[in-house]
Structure 1
Amino acid sequence: MAIAKSAEEFGLGNLYAWGDNFAGQLGLGDKTDRSSRTQVGTFNDWQRVSVGPNHSCAVRRDSLWCSGMNNYGQLGLGDNTQRTTLTQVGISTTWAAIAVGETHTCATRASGTLYCWGRNNTGQLGLGDTVNRNTPVQVGTASDWVALTAGFEYTCGIRHDRTLWCWGRNTSYQLGLGDNVNRNVPTRAGTAAWADIAASYTHTCGARTDQTLWCWGENTYGQLGQGDNVDRTNPTEVGTGADWASVAAGRLHTCATRLKGTLWCWGRNANGQLGLGDTTDRNSPMQVGTATLWATVSAGRAHTCGVRVGNNVSCWGGNADGQLGLGDTTPRNTPTVVPGLKARPMRTGSNSFSNLSVG
């Protein structure tokens, strides 16, 4: 699935979606896949969006909306009924960052408080138990959450003091706590100061405030960028560079931008999701082409999309469900511009962009 927002002034704009739609996750009122960008509804005040494999959520200027699979209450609507159109979650008008995982959702409000809902079998909601929730429930009492990311049955967030906290599934060391024990409440990961964080299936990557890049968890396909295929139980630095700007973690691959605007990818590449012109896996960062104007990047199961300065959106990788938005189902192994789509590259929280999110 891919979903993007065409932003107008002040970061508000129309919402567009394309790709796999078997559960109605595109919010278009049906379950028909789309291979080209399709506008979602008629509202033009969308601010940010986050998608998972089976459901998606988006924030308007004054409300939160979700659609798709809802078997665990991950839409936050108080039931387990699937929705094919974006449906408003509660009545709050103060939602900020949003992070959609495999079967759960978390979001912050303008006050800095954190809420989670959906499946909770490994404690991914951070509520101190493993009971599912079908409406938003506040996580703890902290009111200083500034960034958020959700992966496969786990969640990580950054607080105002730049400390990193993770919780949920930890069987592949993805929480970065030095062990493989699940946690059902937010648990601090180390003492470093973090600027950006990206959760995935079984690995996590983040950029620190000193602009170094770190990854941990499963490394079967080299997705940690360490030059090998050895798992890591704690955050481990990727190379020696101190110029990383943002990072996105796909199911088994990772991509990141550097301060000069270059784009780098590594890990699984069976579908060309690294954008390197082939389908060969890489276990260390490789520059994608020679372009130097990449602003943001988002990674999904087997495809990737990015925004370059000038607001052009490009996608590459697997395309069986039309998730590249190119009007066909042909895979691409190099970045290819999505026709007719512009997107403002505004950051709105870790692994979530106001303009672009892929699942």
Structure 2
Amino acid sequence: MRTDRRRAARFTRVAALLSVAIGFPVIALLPSASAELSGRSTVPASAAKSAEEFGIGRLYAWGDNAGGQLGLGDKTDRSSATQVGTFSDWQRVAVGPGHSCAARLDSLWCSGMNNFGQLGLGDNTQRLTMTRVGASTTWAAIAVGENHTCATRASGTLYCWGRNQLGQLGLGDTVNRNTPVQVGTASDWVALSAGFDYTCGIRGDRTLWCWGRNTNYQLGLGDNVNRNVPTRVGTADWADIAASFTHTCGTRMDQTLWCWGENTYGQLGQGDNVDRTDPVQVGTGIAWASAATGRLHTCATRLNGTLWCWGRNASGQLGLGDATDRNSPLQVGTATYWATVSAGRAHTCGVRVGNIVCAGAPTQTGSSAWATRPPATHPPSFPA
């Protein structure tokens, strides 16, 4: 559910803009032109300020559509990629289990379930087509949770809306909102990720802040107490963040990888199944580019372009050719040109030289995807 987790390794290639929700759906945006990722930016691509431009494209969708989250005007599932509308200037995408949002060059659009006002349209009416959110023309990053949405603007300000029973909107209360409401007064938010009922963000000074549900230590604050306002996590300098169902991972500016929260299936990569209340480093190595957190598994890319996965693997979502869980990072194949990766409920998708490759449970109920061109096939494991 994280927005625009597009961190490239230190090489140049044409690549898709990919994001997979931790609940059910998947979102991917491939440039319609030959946009290139040039090196690893120290500021995430989702940054409200100094963000890299990765190109624009047409939007395609496929998979589960029970909530109208594909934005195709109905609730019919799609087994092949179908273009969403006729616009060709989509830039960013994010999806939750029942609703999706995407940003064009000058506007933000959402579709799907809206029972908690998560579409930000001032009501609780479901939408089956992409509908514009307000009149702002300066939306930057987007993060979609289970029933809430957050987004930054070009000014660096942060807005959230939707379900708020656990404080996931960060507004100091537990009252739902059906239109975007500014979170605090800070104007330097540069990265954003939404979990099921919680949210995390990074500010311009590279500090990490989390809020919302904390029953499994997913906020990384040393306890399991919920927070209804952004609360700082430790003192480290953070580069990127990935919220999930009950665990969170992120990379620091020194290129180390850290995870915390639930660890029932080894999704924290610690070689055991013990939950962690605070961020703990994954291994001792550096040179991690980005992390992607699924419901109960994690995948990450390194600066040399390799892909590593660990955690729950009952559906083959780790891409290792089997269904055995792993509690430590294991390299997926031998390829060294993975540009980005994103993890879902029981599946994972990655981008290699402009192609989307997925592993796991492609036919599971609730799995859906967006892209700007038809996806690759869904093999049982990632090819080397």
Provide the TM-score with structure 2 as the length reference.
0.85
Which position in structure 1 is the counterpart of 2:225?
181
- Aligned-partner Cα distance in 2 for 1:323–1:107: 22
Other structure's SS at 1:136 match = strand
- Aligned-partner Cα distance in 1 for 2:277–2:161: 27
Contact in 1 for aligned 2:27/2:369 (Cα 8 Å) = no
Which position in structure 2 is the counterpart of 1:43?
87
Other structure's SS at 2:219 match = coil
Contact in 2 for aligned 1:74/1:118 (Cα 8 Å) = yes
Other structure's SS at 2:30 match = strand
Divergent runs of 4+, >3 A: 321-328
- 1:223 paired with 2:267, answer yes
Query: Structure 1 residue 2: deviation in Å?
Result: 2.3
- 1:170 paired with 2:217, answer no
Which position in structure 1 is the counterpart of 2:20?
none
Query: Structure 1 residue 35: deviation in Å?
Result: 1.9
The 5 Å alignment of 1:11-50 reads 11-50=55-94
- 1:2 paired with 2:26, answer yes
Alpha carbons of structure 1 residues 206 and 158: separation in structure 2 relative to 1, 3 Å: same
- 1:334 paired with 2:381, answer yes
Which position in structure 2 is the counterpart of 1:311?
354
Alpha carbons of structure 1 residues 79 and 324: separation in structure 2 relative to 1, 3 Å: closer
- Aligned-partner Cα distance in 2 for 1:327–1:161: 39
- Aligned-partner Cα distance in 1 for 2:235–2:140: 26
Q: Deviations over 1:58-106 (max 9, x none)?
A: 0000000000111100000001111111100000000000000011000
Aligned-pair identity (%):
79
Query: Structure 1 residue 3: deviation in Å?
Result: 2.6
- Aligned-partner Cα distance in 1 for 2:62–2:208: 33
- 1:300 paired with 2:347, answer no
Query: Structure 1 residue 149: deviation in Å?
Result: 0.1
Contact in 1 for aligned 2:258/2:280 (Cα 8 Å) = yes
Q: Deviations over 1:324-349 (max 9, x none)?
A: 79999x97431379xxxxxxxxxxxx
- Aligned-partner Cα distance in 2 for 1:69–1:311: 31
- Aligned-partner Cα distance in 2 for 1:262–1:36: 29
- Aligned-partner Cα distance in 2 for 1:191–1:105: 26
Aligned length: 335
Other structure's SS at 1:211 match = coil
The amino acid across from 2:382 in the alignment is: P
Alpha carbons of structure 1 residues 194 and 78: separation in structure 2 relative to 1, 3 Å: same
- 1:272 paired with 2:320, answer no
- Could you list the runs of 5+ residues in structure 2 that have no partner in the other structure? 1-24, 34-52
- Aligned-partner Cα distance in 2 for 1:256–1:324: 20
Query: Structure 1 residue 33: deviation in Å?
Result: 1.0
Alignment match of 2:281 (pick from 234, 237, 243)? 237
- Aligned-partner Cα distance in 1 for 2:383–2:230: 39
- Could you list the runs of 5+ residues in structure 1 that have no partner in the other structure? 338-359
The amino acid across from 2:32 in the alignment is: E
How well do the aligned residues superpose, as a CA RMSD in angstroms?
1.8
Contact in 2 for aligned 1:316/1:333 (Cα 8 Å) = yes
Q: Deviations over 1:183-203 (max 9, x none)?
A: 000000000000010000000
Contact in 2 for aligned 1:77/1:89 (Cα 8 Å) = yes
Alpha carbons of structure 1 residues 238 and 184: separation in structure 2 relative to 1, 3 Å: same
Alignment match of 1:140 (pick from 184, 200, 209)? 184
